[in-house]
Chain A
Amino acid sequence: MPETASITTTGTASTATTGAASGKVTDAEFPVARGCPFSTPAEYEQIREHSPIAKVRLTTGREAWWIAGHELGRAVLADRRFSSDRRRDNFPFVSTDPETRKQLQDQPTSMLGMDGAEHAQTRRALMGEFTVRRMAGLRPRIQQIVDQHIDEMLSSEQRSADLVEALSLPVPSLVICELLGVPYADHDFFQGLTGPLLRHTTPPEARGRIQEELNTYLGTLIDRKLTDPTDDLLGRQIAKQHAAGTFDRTSLVSMAFLLLVAGHETTANMISLGVVGLLQHPDQLAMIKNDPEKTPPAVEELLRYFTIADTVTARVATEDVQLGDTTINAGDGVVISGLAADHDPTVFTDPDRIDLERGARHHVAFGFGPHQCIGQTLARMELQIVFDTLFRRIPTLRLAAPLDDIPFKSDAFVYGAEKLPVAW
């Protein structure tokens, strides 16, 4: 289906009854804080009542279009007239501070911020590292890593732990380090840096410093691998570029940065939230405990329900685009809210209920269109292994604090839990 046709269809099918589609329906500043993991912001519902798209004010003071419908969201994410280039004016959430903007302009963009042919070329150089077959080959090692961390939990005498520290964070962190060829011994160093980087509230100066520190670290690592080749993802990319005479240190640094950050923070947060979700729904947890074949669809539902990277899917229109009754002007910022799309009641019946058997694979938790998560097969596998193994080996696992006392990351680009006290 041509991209434009699918968008027009969406607009026509929308429930817009007034001119509200092009006006503001809420005074809230976006992104609105996400509180409890079991509720979505009321503003999303407010927007959806009028139309799948509305103009909102962002915390940066600028305005942007907010898309809260699943079908329209997917259509826009697949539409090449919307750019992912974070250096463009009006790109949502990017600071309006001139100094920060200059820093951003000077920095090489990763695959995340590329468009069209440049994006395709960069992604294609990396795609072979993430095939379903290659990822399946990692399964035994991931199982081993998960088992080792659960062994450690079980060997503690107090029969309690912070799950984030004991399992959620170290497992994906170790997996991505081994895959990339980043020494795991350095994980404290980069985890301490990437955490603040993912928060809305981290000031621009601090952000710049952190970015610089990580770039220096990864640059040194890449230099070392150029001299002493290693058989890991970074090593193979370096060798490939070196052999072709296209060695580009700067782009390798930004690629390594993207994979490292995306590879552990996201999965870690999904592990913690998934465990909370399952423990709060014991009847459904029992179902996957009894039949591990139900775990893969259960993981899809948990991905949908929590959609942790709600606002990473943002774009800027490169030309005027008509979305139903709404005209998006060239240069307008657009946020395709993944969480809102994945709680769209016209696509997911009773969306605020966790239903592990609903069949939720059409969620957009990994995004949609040409930028859809390159590591999704790895993430799915890690989540499946963790949930299966954790509840099999520690069947009496329970939360050791009331839900209200668990610190959730309400101000982060990637939602999750800061700490997760559990006991058994």
Chain B
Amino acid sequence: MRIDANTDVCIGAGQCVLTDPTVFDQHDDGIVMLITKHPEGEAAHRAREAVELCPSGALSVIEEPGDS
């Protein structure tokens, strides 16, 4: 899986960073920054949760070939 971040709609709520700071960070202006686009294992699980929690719809999960 791959995580996509649409920085145009991000509202800087910070929910993603709270969910997994190893995957998500914020620029100084509050906009989301992906530390990795391809989280694995537990981090992948938490990244999916972050996508669910994101209030602005800025985050999405893209399933890739080979994903189980």
Contacts and interface: CB of A to CB of B under 8 A. Distances in A.
Interface of A: 1, 77-78, 120, 123-124, 127-133, 135, 361-362, 366-370, 372-374, 376-377, 380
Interface of B: 9, 11-15, 17-19, 21, 26, 28-31, 49, 52-53, 55-57
Contacts of B26: 131-133
A74 B12 CA distance: 18
Contacts of B57: 1, 78
A128 B29 contact: yes
Nearest to A3: B57
A123 B14 contact: no
Given A132-B18, A369-B55, 13 more contacts: A78-B56, A124-B30, A127-B31, A128-B12, A131-B12, A131-B30, A132-B17, A361-B19, A362-B52, A370-B55, A370-B56, A372-B13, A376-B14
A254 to B, nearest CB: 19
A128 B21 CA distance: 17
Nearest to B17: A132
B56 A124 contact: no
B53 A369 contact: no
Given A127-B30, A127-B31, A377 B14 contact: yes
Contact of A372 (B17, B18, B55): B55
Nearest to B11: A370
Nearest to B26: A131
Contact of B30 (A1, A128, A376): A128
Given A127-B30, A127-B31, A128-B29, A374 B55 contact: no
Nearest to A135: B14
B55 A130 contact: no
B12 A127 contact: yes
B55 to A, nearest CB: 4
A312 to B, nearest CB: 15
Given A370-B11, A377-B14, A377-B18, A124 B55 contact: no
23 contacts: A120-B9, A124-B12, A124-B29, A127-B12, A127-B29, A127-B31, A128-B28, A128-B29, A128-B30, A130-B12, A130-B14, A132-B18, A132-B21, A132-B26, A133-B26, A369-B55, A369-B56, A370-B56, A372-B11, A372-B55, A376-B13, A376-B15, A380-B18
B19 to A, nearest CB: 8
A324 B13 CA distance: 29
Contacts of B56: 78, 369-370, 372
Contacts of B53: 361-362
Nearest to B31: A127
B55 A78 contact: yes
B7 to A, nearest CB: 11
